[in-house]
Chain A
Amino acid sequence: MKVLCVIISVVRKSLLYIGLGTIAVFQIFPLMWLVLFSLKSNQEIFDLSPLSLPPEPRWDNYLRVWNEGNISQYFFNSVIYTGISVVLTILFASMVTFAITRMKWKLSGLVLGIFTVGMMIPLHSTLIPLFNMFLRAGMINHPITIILLYTTFNLPITILILFGFYQTLPRELEEAAIMDGASIHKLFLSIILPMTSPVIVTAAIINMIYNWNEFIFMNTFISSEEYRTLTVGIQNFIGQYTTDWGAIGATLVISMLPILILFFILSDRIMEGLTAGSIKG
Chain B
Amino acid sequence: MNEVLASRKAIIFYIIPALLLVVLFMYIPLILTGYYGLMEWNGMGEMIFTGLDHYRRLIGDPLFWDSAKHSLMLGLFSTLALVAYLIVSLILSQKMKGANLLRKIYLIPMLLSSVAIAQLWLRIYHPTNGIFNTFLIYLGVENPPTWLADPNLVLYALFVPIIWQYAGFYILIYYTALKNISVDVLEAASMDGANVWQTAWKIKVPMIMDIIKVTVILAVVGSLKYFDLIFVMTGGGPNGASEVLASYMYRTAFRSFDFGYGSALAFALLLVCLITTVVVRKITTLKGV
Q: Quick one: given A93-B18, A96-B15, A155-B22, are A28 and B96 in contact (CB under 8 Å)? A: no
Distance from A221 Cβ to chain B, minimum over Cβ atoms (Å)? 10
| Cα–Cα distance between A274 and B249 once the two chains are bound (Å) | 29
The stretch of A56-64, A177-185, A195-203 that contacts the partner chain? A177-185
* Residue contact A127 to B119, C-beta cutoff 8 Å: no
* Residue contact B214 to A120, C-beta cutoff 8 Å: no
Binary contact track A191-215/B, C-beta < 8 Å → 1, others 0: 0000000000000000001001111
Within 8 A of A (CB), among B94-137: 96, 102-116, 119-121, 123-124, 129, 131, 134
Q: Is B68 an interface residue (CB 8 A)?
A: no
* Residue contact A148 to B131, C-beta cutoff 8 Å: no
Q: Which of A20, A102, A155: most chain B CB closer than 10 A?
A: A20
- Total contacting residues, chain B, CB less than 8 A: 89
Q: Quick one: given A92-B17, A128-B33, are A104 and B211 in contact (CB under 8 Å)? A: no
Contact of A209 among B15, B32, B111 (CB under 8 A): B111
Within 8 A of B (CB), among A96-115: 96, 98-100, 102-105, 111, 114-115
Q: Quick one: given A104-B5, A127-B266, A278-B173, are A99 and B14 in contact (CB under 8 Å)? A: yes
Write out the residue numbers on chain B whose beta carbons fall within 8 Å of the beta carbon of A118. Answer: 22, 26
* Residue contact A178 to B266, C-beta cutoff 8 Å: no
Q: Is A252 an interface residue (CB 8 A)?
A: yes
Write out the residue numbers on chain A whose beta carbons fall within 8 Å of the beta carbon of B172. Answer: 271, 274-275
Write out the residue numbers on chain A whose beta carbons fall within 8 Å of the beta carbon of B277. Answer: 120
Within 8 A of B (CB), among A1-59: 16-17, 19-20, 23-24, 26-28, 30-31, 33-34, 37, 45-46, 49-50
| Cα–Cα distance between A256 and B108 once the two chains are bound (Å) | 10
* Residue contact A175 to B106, C-beta cutoff 8 Å: no
5 A-B contacts, Cβ less than 8 Å apart?
A114-B19, A122-B273, A128-B259, A152-B26, A270-B111
Additional 14 contacts, C-beta under 8 A, given A20-B91, A91-B17, A152-B25: A28-B105, A28-B108, A103-B11, A125-B273, A127-B253, A131-B43, A152-B21, A155-B18, A156-B22, A212-B113, A215-B115, A216-B250, A248-B119, A252-B120
B: residues with CB less than 8 A from A are 1-2, 4-8, 10-11, 13-15, 17-19, 21-30, 32-33, 36, 43, 88, 91-92, 96, 102-116, 119-121, 123-124, 129, 131, 134, 164, 167-169, 172-173, 176-177, 211, 214-215, 218, 221, 224-225, 227-228, 232, 246, 249-250, 253-254, 259, 262-263, 266-267, 269-270, 273-274, 277
